[in-house]
Amino acid sequence: MIYWLALFLALFLNAFSNIAVKIGAIKSSKLFILAGLMGFGIQFLFYAFALKKINLSIAYPIMVGSGFVIISLFSYLYLKEHMNIYDFVGMFLIFVGVLLISVR
């Protein structure tokens, strides 16, 4: 159970870090960029810990797929980035795929 918690902490730290770097780039803020860089480092530690007991073939799709969905939704809702119906359908299909992989 603790390994799954580490995976989900890594997932959310990865999403946070990507968003922080994006905001830092928009605002030319070294603080946000530094926060993103630190988040990536901490995320790496949680991810490495999770991989001790979770198969890479399960952990990696969860990290990449779920991270993509979280970052895309945040970008759409808060950064006002444009998305169309194909983007939302694609995110839904990725989400379903991650669910299918993670329940095996």
Q: How far apart are CA 74 and CA 26, in angstroms?
A: 15
Tell me what the mean pLDDT of segment 14-18 comes to.
Answer: 97
- pLDDT score, position 49: 98
- pLDDT score, position 10: 98
Query: pLDDT per residue over 67-87, tens digit each?
Result: 999 999 999 999 999 999 999
- Do the Cβ atoms of 7 and 44 come closer than 8 Å? no
- The SS3 assignment for 71 reads helix
Extended beta strands in 10-89, E state: none
- pLDDT score, position 8: 96
**What confidence category does residue 102 fall into, taking pLDDT thresholds of 50, 70 and 90?**
confident
**What confidence category does residue 101 fall into, taking pLDDT thresholds of 50, 70 and 90?**
confident
- Domain spans of the chain? 2-102
Query: pLDDT per residue over 19-73, tens digit each?
Result: 999 999 999 999 999 999 999 999 999 999 999 999 999 999 999 999 999 999 9
